[in-house]
Amino acid sequence: MAKVMIVDDDKDVIELLSFVLEKDGYTVFRAFNGRDALEQLGVLPSAQMVVKPDVVILDIMMPEIDGYTVQNRMSEHDETRSIPIIILTAKGLMRDLFGLASNVAAYIDKPFDPSMLREKIKELVKS
């Protein structure tokens, strides 16, 4: 089954999404901040890729390394630039920051409808 990485500093969001996605049969990887995500993806210097997810669900406002930086770093590396990203944020105006980033597949505002997110993930995994 497909692999999904959830990157969010809100543990409740990660637990909710993990429960829903694992119930759907996805393998879920969790990162509680941008640094952790980049390390697991092997994007930071001297880090080795632990996982190559099929989709990344990415929060924007996080400590250490924010979601905008994670998205930028992913787009700079051959191994991660083609992984579609779903931006999950409480800051609806953040869409403008990403412009026409080719690896950003969708924007979903918090609070979100889990069924809508599930449908978007299914769509991205199929393509």
Q: What's the pTM value of the predicted model, to 2 decimals?
A: 0.90
Distance CA 116, CA 94 (A): 20
Domains of the chain: 3-126 (3.40.50.2300)
CA distances from 108 to 16, 71, 77, 81, 92 (A): 15, 15, 25, 20, 8
Average pLDDT value over all residues in the chain: 89
- What tens digit of pLDDT does each residue of 4-19 get? 999 999 999 999 999 9
Which of 55-59, 66-70, 87-91 has the highest average model confidence (pLDDT)?
55-59
Determine whether 53 is exposed, middle or buried from the number of CB atoms within 10 Å of its CB (0-12, 13-18, 19+). buried
Distance CA 64, CA 75 (A): 19
Helix (H) or strand (E) holding 85: strand 85-89
Distance CA 106, CA 121 (A): 10
Which residues have C-beta within 8 Å of that of residue 15, sequence separation ≥ 6? Answer: none
